[in-house]
Amino acid sequence: MPEQPYHTREEFNYVGKAGLKRKDGLEKAAGTALFTRDVYLPGMLIAKTFESPYAHAKIVSMDTSKAEAYPGVHAVLRYDDPELAYEFEYPSWGWSAQYQHPLNQIAHWAGCPMGFAIAAVDEQTVDEAMKLVEIEWEILPFELDYEQSAKDDVILEAHRDIDTNIRSAEGVIEHELGDVEKGMQEADNIVKFTYIDEEDTWGGVEALSCIAVWRGDHLDIWVHNQTPNPAQMRLAGYHQWVPVGYFVRVAPPVNQYTLANKIHVHSLYQGAQFGGPNWNTWYCNYPLTAAWLAKRAQKPVKHILDRSHFENRGYDEAVHYMEVGFKNDGTITALKSLDYGSTIDFPFKVGKGTGVPNYYDTVIVPYVNKGPKSCYRHGMKECGGLNLPYSIVAGELGMPMTEVALKNDGCYGNSMEWINENVKAQYGWTRDSLKEVIEAGKEAIGWDEKWHLPGEKKLDNGRYHGIGLAFSHNWEVDPNTYFQPNQACVAIQRTEGSVKLIARHSDGGWTGETSYCQIVADELGAKYDDVEIRPFDDVKFELKQGMGSCGLICSSVFLVEAARNCKKKLLEICTEPTGPGGRQIFPGLTPDDLEVKDSVVFEKANPDNKKTFYEVCQADWQFHDPAIGWAANRRHGMEIWNLLRQATFMEVEVDTETGEVIIKKVVNVNDVGKCVTPESVKGQQYGGSYMGIGNSRNEEVLYDTQTGFQINDNLIDYKWFSFNDIEGPMEQIIIETGMGYGAYGMSGCSEVVGALMATSTSDAIFNATGKRVTHFPTTPDRVLKALGKI
C-alpha cells in the first residue's frame, strides 16, 4: 500500500479539541486588536482616489492645479504622470474590467476609482480639493447586462482594439468531459431549463485601506488583504500570473531598486474578509498609489476607500441555459450548459464532485460596466449548476433528492464504485463521505418522516411545508501549485523554553493562529499554552494565506514538518554531548529512547527521568538553532481526487398567498476530513449560512438603467438578513473521514456552505409547492410568479 498523501498521527492532545483559548481571542474581545484601518503614524496624510461619476467615460483633459495649490494638500498623482506611463496588464478572474491602470483614464463603471489621487492632512481637505479638479469628459455608451453585451454592436472597451464585447482573453471558455451528445441519446428523459442568479454583494466589516511610509529606499506598507507576498511582488514590479507564486515582471517597481526585500508588507487583522480585495485588480493597485503618494509627499500616507456601496463584493449576475439527460432510475447521463456572466466555473463542481460521465459547458464572458466582482465562499452559480439539475431530475421522477445525489456521486465522471476500487483502496480508505453526510443530515432534520411528494403537505396554519437538500464536494488543493509558497519556523526559546511559531500570515477571522498552534503543540509535544505566533511580521517565513479555503490545508503540511524537525533537533540536543566536558542531558540514551509531552522530555522506559523544555534550554549552552520545515517536491505530480462532501438540509414553510418563505430549520453537515478547531468550523458554517440565506432569499443589487449607478448602495435599501430573519434553529454537524490532502487528511470547510443555501431553498420551495423557482433570489414576487398568481 503506498504512503498516505499527507502527514498523519494516531493520537491528538489539542487538534480537534474544543474549548481552547483562542490565540487572538483576548485582543479581539478587549478591542485592542490592531486592524489595518487602525494604523496611525506620526504626520500621516489621508489619501483618496477620485471616483467616476459616469458608468463609462473617458477623461479628455484634466486640470489639477487648483487642487495642488489647496492648503493642506501635499501630493497629487495623475493618470498621465511618468510613474504610471506603462501598461498594467494584470490578469483577471472573470472580472468585468481585467485591465485596470491604478489611475485609469477611462471609467468602466459608475464609481470606478480612476483619474487622480490626492493626499492631504485630513479626509475633509481631500474631499474639498477633489471638487477643484476640472475635467473634460467624453461620455461613452454603457451596458449592464452580460447576455446583451455579448450580442451588442456597441463596443464598450473603447481603448481596446477589439471588435466585440466578449473578452479577448478567456472570453469564451469551453469545458468538456466525455461525449455529451451520446449521453443525451442514452437518456430516457431530457429536460431543458433556465436559471438566473442576480448580482449580490457581501460587504466586509472593515473598510478598505492601506498605509505606506518610506524609510530611505525602504518601503513599509500595511495592506488590507490576505496576500502580503503577492502584494510585495506587485510593488516590486512583478505580477503573479498563476495563483501560487510564479511572478513575471510587468512594470517598473515603486522605486529605483528592484529587490522585493526593500519592500516590507504587513497584513494585520482583517475585518471579515472573503477573498475579493486579494484579487481584484483595481484594489491590488491601491498600495501602488499609496506608495507613490508617500514618496512624493515624503510623509506616511493612508489610502482609504470609503464608499457607501459595496462594489467589489459578492457575485455578478449570470444566466444559465441548461439541459439534463437522465434515466428513469435517476442516473444522470449528460449535462449541457450555456452561461453568460463573469464568475462561472461550471465544471468545478460537476466535474470534481460527481460521477456524471458527460458534460459540455460554454461560458461567455463579455465586458459590462459594473465594478469587478470575485469569489466569496465560492459560487451559487457553480453549486446551482450542480444541484438544480439534480433537483429537477428528482422532481421529474418523484424521488427524494437524497437518492439522486447518492446515485450520481463520484469524481471526474467516475462512479463511486470505480473510485472505491481504483482510488480509495490504494490508501486503505473505506468510508463513503456523501453517504455519511446525507445519513447524518437526514437524521438531524427528520428527513424520512418529513419528506413528501411536492405540494402534498398543507399545514394547519395554511402554509405549505417543504424540505430540501443541496450538496457539493469540499475544497481540495493541488499540491503541485498551492503548496509551494509555504515556509514555517518552529523554535524553542532559549530563555524560558516557550515555543515560537514564526511565519507571516494575515488573519480574516478564521481562527488560523489557534489552529496553527494546536498543530505545532501536538507535533512537538508542547503545551498549547506554551506555543505562540506573531503572524503579521514581515519575516522570511510565510504560510499560505486564507485564500480559497486552502490556507490551513496547505499550511498544515508545513507546520507538521517544521514541528517534527524541531522535535528531532530537541531530542538530538538531549542526547548529544553539550557544554564544557561534553556531558549529556540524558546520559547514555538515544533520541529513540525519549518522548515529549506537555513541554517535557522524558525517558520512555522511565518517565520519572524527565526535563522540562526550560531545563533542557538551561542545560544546553548551544540551544539556539530552530528547526525549519517546508514541504518537499514529493507531492508534485500527485493526482487529486475530491472525495469529501458537505450538504445543507433546509425545512421551510411557504405562504402561497404572499409568496413568503419562512425558514424553519437548517442543518449543515460537513466532512472536513479532520477538524482542527471545532468552534472555527461551526462558526464558518453559521456565518456562511446567513450569507447564503440572504443571497438566496432577498439580496439583489439594483441599478438605475439610465445612469448605471447602483440605487440600493446602503444597508437601508440593500436588505441583508439578520439573526431575526431566520425563525428556526441551525445545526452544524462535523464528519471526519480523513480523505483530504491537508495534514491528517483535512480539507477546506467553508467555501460552498453559503452557496448551497440558494439551491437547498429552491429544492425546499419545490417540495412545498410543486412549483420551481430558478430565478434567484427567491423573493416573494418570484414565488408568486412561479405559482401563477402574478
| Lowest-confidence segment of 254-263, 681-690, 745-754 by average pLDDT | 254-263
The string of pLDDT tens digits covering residues 643-666 is 999 999 999 999 999 999 999 999
Give the C-alpha separation, 73 to 121, whole Å.
7
Question: Cis before residue 777, ω within 30 degrees of 0?
Answer: yes
Average pLDDT over residues 198-207: 74
CA angle 696, 699, 705 (to 5 degrees): 125
Sheet holding 208-215, edge to edge: 73-78, 113-120, 45-51, 301-305, 208-215, 218-223, 263-266
pTM of the model: 0.93
Cα 398 to chain centroid distance, Å, stands at 36
pLDDT at 315: 67
Report the mean per-residue pLDDT for the chain: 85
Q: Among candidates 695, 119, 776, 27, which has minimal Cα distance to 376?
A: 695
Give strand pairing partners of 651.
467, 665
Is the pLDDT confidence value at 485 over 90?
Answer: no
Most distant pair of Cα atoms in the chain: their distance: 94
CATH class in words for 429-479+640-786: alpha beta
Spell out the domain ranges in the chain: 25-33+480-632, 36-143+215-304, 429-479+640-786
pLDDT at 96: 40
What amino acid is encoded at 585 in this protein? I
Burial of 131 (0-12, 13-18, 19+ CB in 10 A): exposed
Contact between residue 202 and residue 376 where contact means Cβ atoms under 8 Å apart: yes
Find out if CATH 3.30.365.10 is the number for domain 25-33+480-632.
yes
CA angle 601, 605, 611 (to 5 degrees): 20
| Lowest-confidence segment of 220-224, 312-316, 768-772 by average pLDDT | 312-316
pLDDT at 94: 39
Give the C-alpha separation, 403 to 414, whole Å.
18
| Lowest-confidence segment of 19-28, 30-39, 194-203 by average pLDDT | 194-203
pLDDT at 317: 80
Q: Among candidates 410, 394, 414, which has minimal Cα distance to 402?
A: 394
Query: pLDDT tier at 542 (50, 70, 90 boundaries)?
Result: confident
Identical fold between 36-143+215-304 and 429-479+640-786: no
Average pLDDT over residues 568-589: 83
CATH of domain 36-143+215-304: 3.90.1170.50
Is the pLDDT confidence value at 125 over 80?
Answer: yes
Is the pLDDT confidence value at 198 over 90?
Answer: no
DSSP 3-state of 629:
strand
Pair type for strands 57-63 and 464-473: unpaired
Contact between residue 46 and residue 119 where contact means Cβ atoms under 8 Å apart: yes
Q: Bigger pLDDT: 624 or 749? A: 749
Percent of the chain past pLDDT 70, that is, above it, reads 84
pLDDT at 762: 94
Contact between residue 487 and residue 542 where contact means Cβ atoms under 8 Å apart: yes
Give the C-alpha separation, 488 to 503, whole Å.
5
CA angle 362, 365, 369 (to 5 degrees): 155
Would you state the cell numbers that stand for residue 751, as one nine-digit string? 467555501
The string of pLDDT tens digits covering residues 581-623 is 667 889 999 999 999 999 999 999 999 999 999 998 887 655 4
Give the C-alpha separation, 86 to 771, whole Å.
55
pLDDT at 169: 54
The string of pLDDT tens digits covering residues 273-311 is 666 666 666 677 788 899 999 999 999 999 998 764 445
Give the C-alpha separation, 389 to 180, whole Å.
15
Give strand pairing partners of 507.
269
Average pLDDT over residues 547-573: 85
pLDDT at 505: 82
